[in-house]
Amino acid sequence: MTGGRTLLTGATGYLGGYALHGLLQRGEPVLALVRARDDAEARARLWTALDLHLPRDTAAAARWLGDRLASGQLAVARGDLRQPGLGLDPAALEDVTSVLHVAASLNRRSEKVCLDVNLRGGLEVVLVARALLERGRLRRYTHVSTVAVAGRRQAEVVGEDEAASFERSDFDPYARTKKFAEHLSARLLPGASVVIARPSIVLGDSRFPETTQFDMVQAFVRLAQSPALPFDPAARLDIVPADFVAEALVRLHLAERPRHRIYHLAAGTASPTFREVTDAMARARGRRGPVYLPRLGAPVAAALGTLSRGRSTVARLAALLDVFWPYLAWDVVFDNRRVTDETGLVPARFPDYCPGLFRFAVDGGFRYPHRPAPTAALEPQAVVV
């Protein structure tokens, strides 16, 4: 326990749920910012985010979460990232001494949504942290960004300090707004204890096959089921499991003195190739791997935009692949020596755990079987309006 409370944004999201569970497991007091109409909805959303991490016995899971709410270790603040002061009464932040900002829009197609959440919302979070800094109360501001801030590159190993260049074009509004959000942190929190954490592609958990995030998984499954792929089989895919990202994130956030300001939470030079990934999936399915036709990459990429128009199954699949195509064809990996040296953590390689992940996703129809929230067991008194 670090003293004071961590304000956590994005607690009801995929990675935010991992971060929330990790902080609570370490005894860290947390104020979770949740957008909800009432207290019951706020608690239900937190239950859904934590469902993946709680004991399979529903009564035991309800006790685990209910105990943390009742003790006050977990407090819930109903607010909105995009509102001044996050829509909170300043008294709700009275014991907050650190901020872990995970919330973001991943909508790579909508510049409007990314600007609204990643920039407008990101600015409000930074201003809250700045107010704490000015009062001498900010221990740490940890901002979860993305390696996508590196922009358009090809066949590189990229270090933390040269990644976010404004001279390079970006793939999409998500990458562009996340880059500017990093810039806001640097400009408005000078000299503060700031950590920028940049995960690479986050897919699945190395400890178990279940996941609650399916968009990128679905894209990989559809590619794995194709007899031919328009990619270079030697191109590398920087993919990390969510358990590695969350553990590294929580350790860096709680560390007394992080050695660096920016960390790539990435697979680094150990990133697998396309062939390694597809071979692993093919073996799990008892089939041969796909044929690679890299010369078709450019025409296929150009055709996806046209094919994605409409509401047919083909259009939906094309739209999905169109969004992720730049990251699949990137062949860029991110130096992860800072985080591995400092924490001792080494991410599991995607080919080692992806077969179970894909079987779970396909067998479950790309859905997670969430349990209904046992609202009677979740104490309402630990909610701040």
pLDDT in tens, 187-213: 999 888 999 999 999 999 999 999 999
pLDDT tier for residue 324 given thresholds of 50, 70 and 90: confident
Are the C-beta atoms of residues 23 and 32 closer than 8 Å to each other?
no
> Within a domain: residue 340?
yes
pLDDT tier for residue 379 given thresholds of 50, 70 and 90: low
Look at residue 7 in the predicted model and tell me its pLDDT: 98
> Within a domain: residue 302?
no
Question: Does 222 have pLDDT greater than 90?
Answer: no
> Average pLDDT in the 322-331 region?
85
Look at residue 1 in the predicted model and tell me its pLDDT: 44
What pTM did the predictor assign? 0.93
> Within a domain: residue 20?
yes
Question: Does 281 have pLDDT greater than 90?
Answer: no
> Within a domain: residue 296?
no
> Average pLDDT in the 150-178 region?
92
> Within a domain: residue 76?
yes
d(CA 306, CA 318): 9
Two tokens, residue 146? 């993305």
Are the C-beta atoms of residues 254 and 2 closer than 8 Å to each other?
yes
Q: How many domains in the chain? A: 1
> Within a domain: residue 317?
no
3-state secondary structure 312-355: CHHHHHHHHHHHHHHHHCCCEEECCHHHHHHHCCCCCCHHHHHH
pLDDT tens readout for residues 361-370: 999 999 999 9
Are the C-beta atoms of residues 212 and 53 closer than 8 Å to each other?
no
Compute the Cα dihedral for 209, 215, 217, 221 and give only its sign.
positive
Look at residue 21 in the predicted model and tell me its pLDDT: 98
Phi-psi region of 328 (alpha: psi -120 to 50; beta: other; left: phi over 0): alpha
Higher local confidence (pLDDT), 160 or 40? 160
> Within a domain: residue 216?
no
Look at residue 8 in the predicted model and tell me its pLDDT: 98
pLDDT tier for residue 283 given thresholds of 50, 70 and 90: confident
What angle separates helix 215-224 from helix 313-328, to the nearest 10 degrees?
100
Phi-psi region of 383 (alpha: psi -120 to 50; beta: other; left: phi over 0): beta
Q: Which CATH number belongs to the domain containing residue 342 in this structure?
A: 3.40.50.720
Q: Tell me the residue range of the domain where 75 lies.
A: 5-205+238-270+332-350+368-384
Look at residue 315 in the predicted model and tell me its pLDDT: 79
> Average pLDDT in the 73-100 region?
94
Are the C-beta atoms of residues 77 and 384 closer than 8 Å to each other?
yes
Higher local confidence (pLDDT), 259 or 282? 259
> Within a domain: residue 59?
yes
Q: What value does the mean pLDDT of the chain take?
A: 91
Question: Does 352 have pLDDT greater than 80?
Answer: yes
> Average pLDDT in the 119-139 region?
95
Calculate ∠ Cα 98-99-102, nearest 5°. Answer: 155
